[in-house]
Amino acid sequence: MTRQVLTLPSARMRLSAPRAVTAVLVAVLLLAGVLAAGPAPAVASGQRIGPGVQMFTKGAQCTANFVFKDRRGRTFVGYAAHCAGKGDSSQTNGCHTASWPLGTRVVFRTGANLLTGGSVLGHGTLRYSSWIAMHRAHTTGAATCAYNDLALVQVDRADLHLVDPTVPVLGGPTGVADPPAVGRKAYTYGASSLRGGQAKQGTVQSRGRWTSEVFTSSPGIPGDSGSGFMTAGGKAFGVLSTLAVFPDTGSNGVGSLAREMAFAARHGVAGLRLVHGRTAFAAPGTLAGLG
């Protein structure tokens, strides 16, 4: 039996699953109208750029995963490469799907929802996309093409003072790790403009070299794409990339961050490293109300 997956779309893109279209089409159209209405309010005191911030690329909204630096001292915020892709939600192969070019501008926002465009926090520039890198390297490996889904947005110099690498609610990350074993807990924070910010916990259902499946009682939805996943110890291990539609409806496809970072380091982002959070990761027993 063939397992079907969709690239988890941004808040502007269509879902390919027919039943999902009815559920989100009106919300997407409303959101598009809000974002086209005009400039957002000025940045509010205490807001920051980092994990969980909403990122808009050509109008499409995704969620930031973690903060990174490279050997040149540049500061990046990560999300999924498909967030800057030009394909629809059924096109999950990064080696075959077109992307917006490096140099594309990205806007960091907070509080965007169906009623408001939220507040503009700052701006950045797309500097690395695994999809573009795989095109240039003529990558052919099936698993790599399907699950290598990381992009890096360099934060503008004027906005660097707003960068905070800490994951909202959860704290951390405390480092980078391989995906947890099957049955282990995983933690994530998504900020879809269709649902708002939400910390969730889940359980690893399967574990491969390039991707793991993590089930959460409240699965990822459009706009959550790119959000980061952490182990029970607070180490970053994955990037939300795909949503299974059959037979494991609702499970989250999470790319291996360690492999994605290693690929980036070999293809133009030398010395790439994760920036640790400023506060400790919250022990699972202290978290309440997670999906």
3-state secondary structure of 176: strand
**Cα–Cα distance, 142 to 129 (Å, whole number):** 18
**Cα–Cα distance, 165 to 219 (Å, whole number):** 24
**Cα–Cα distance, 114 to 28 (Å, whole number):** 8
**Cα–Cα distance, 136 to 174 (Å, whole number):** 33
Q: Tokens standing for 121?
A: 């926090």
Total length of the chain? 291
Q: Which helix (H) or strand (E) holds 152?
A: strand 151-155
Q: What is the pTM of this model?
A: 0.85
77-129 residue pLDDT tens: 999 999 999 988 778 899 999 999 999 999 999 999 888 889 999 999 999 99
**Cα–Cα distance, 234 to 281 (Å, whole number):** 5
130-156 residue pLDDT tens: 999 999 999 999 999 999 999 999 999
According to DSSP, residue 130 is labeled: H
Give the chain's end-to-end CA distance (angstroms, integer).
29
Q: Are 189 and 51 in contact (CB under 8 A)?
A: yes
190-246 residue pLDDT tens: 999 888 898 999 999 999 999 999 998 777 888 999 999 999 999 999 999 987 665
According to DSSP, residue 189 is labeled: E
